[in-house]
């Protein structure tokens, strides 16, 4: 929807408890919400880090083969369900990986997108607590103004598009294998 203004099906999503649908890095370009007057965007969809069908070393190989080494990245978006009240291990792993694997990740370019807001709009306390948990467990700071409440409509993404960070300063680190070791150590501490 962010790319087309509708659910075109270009990015696959799993509806089962099996492994994730995304096995290869895919990328699509377009105008935000499909409106040529809005910012040009390129979205990368990467396999889930905790997909049981894709061991972490293969996940890194897939990132390296699917994202050019010098690819500049404007924003990092972590997608969470508005119905997930506690931080799951998968969320902690994903947030820690985002922080470790992206060079020069700053709070202003880090976003949280809450999905399922059409079913249950999160309350202010929930958002505050979730951001605090992400900072506490993952050492990842996301400003409250960088929270997106996705209601399964293009309209619910308008305020996010107005905040687009268009100063690409991030890229995937070259030493991802070494960063896996750091990620593993951090997970032991979190547990």
Instruction: Please write the tens of the pLDDT for every residue from 43-81.
Output: 888 777 766 677 777 777 887 888 887 888 888 898 899
* Under 8 Å between Cβ of 76 and 110: yes
Q: Is the pLDDT of residue 175 over 90?
A: no
Confidence of residue 146 (pLDDT cuts 50, 70, 90): very high
- 3-state SS, 62-128, equals HHHHHCCCCCCECCEEEEEECCCCCCCHHHHHHHHHHHHHEECCCHHHEEEEEECCCCCCCCHHHHH
Show the tokens assigned to 72. Answer: 């500049």
Q: Is the pLDDT of residue 181 over 80?
A: no
Return the pLDDT at 70: 81
Return the pLDDT at 185: 59
- Mean pLDDT over 23-27 rounds to 80
């Amino acid at each position: 929807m962010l790319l087309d203004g509708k659910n075109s099906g270009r990015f696959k999503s799993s509806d089962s408890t099996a492994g994730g649908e995304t096995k290869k890095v895919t990328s699509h370009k377009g105008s935000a919400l499909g409106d040529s007057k809005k910012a040009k965007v390129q979205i990368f969809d990467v396999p889930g880090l905790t997909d049981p069908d894709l061991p972490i070393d293969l996940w890194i190989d897939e990132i390296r083969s699917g994202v050019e080494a010098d690819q500049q990245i404007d924003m990092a978006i972590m997608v969470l369900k508005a119905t997930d009240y506690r931080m799951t291990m998968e969320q902690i792993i994903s947030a820690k990986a985002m922080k470790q694997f992206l060079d020069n990740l700053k709070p202003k370019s880090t976003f949280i997108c809450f999905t399922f807001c059409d079913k249950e709009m999160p309350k202010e306390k929930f958002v505050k607590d979730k951001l605090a948990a992400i900072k506490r467990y993952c050492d990842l700071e996301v400003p409250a103004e960088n929270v997106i409440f996705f209601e399964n409509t293009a309209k619910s993404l308008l305020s996010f598009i107005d905040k687009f960070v268009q100063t690409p300063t991030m890229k995937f680190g070259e030493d991802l294998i070494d960063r896996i070791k750091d990620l593993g150590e951090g997970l032991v501490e979190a547990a």
